[in-house]
Amino acid sequence: MPKYEPPKQVETSNKLLDEREARADANEQREKRKIAARSRSRRTNAKLLFSDERNNPALGVTNSMTPTVANRNPYDTEKRYT
């Protein structure tokens, strides 16, 4: 009785499945590293928010996109333009 040999397609599909699993494992490890780095930065940066190294630690994080000097008092009755 001849020995059973699986067709060639089975070998190639197993090889492709192994490659796909390796890529999925690599992506999962990358995502775990991202999450760990994000949580680590939150822990360290939270300490820096109120550190004495900042100009005014009580302000926390400021938005650098909006100027802080241009804020005007809404209760100011003086005319701004002449």
| DSSP-derived secondary structure letter, 80 | S
By the 8 A CB rule, do 60 and 49 touch? yes
| DSSP-derived secondary structure letter, 59 | G
pLDDT digits (tens, 9 = 90+) for 59-81: 555 555 555 555 667 777 776 66
| 66 Cβ contact list (under 8 Å, min separation 6) | none
66/41 Cα distance (integer angstroms): 25
Q: What is the predicted pLDDT for the residue at 64?
A: 57
pLDDT digits (tens, 9 = 90+) for 3-37: 888 888 999 999 999 999 999 999 999 999 999 98
| DSSP-derived secondary structure letter, 40 | H
pLDDT digits (tens, 9 = 90+) for 40-58: 877 776 666 555 555 665 5
Maximum C-alpha span of the chain: 107
Q: What is the predicted pLDDT for the residue at 63?
A: 56
pTM of the model: 0.46
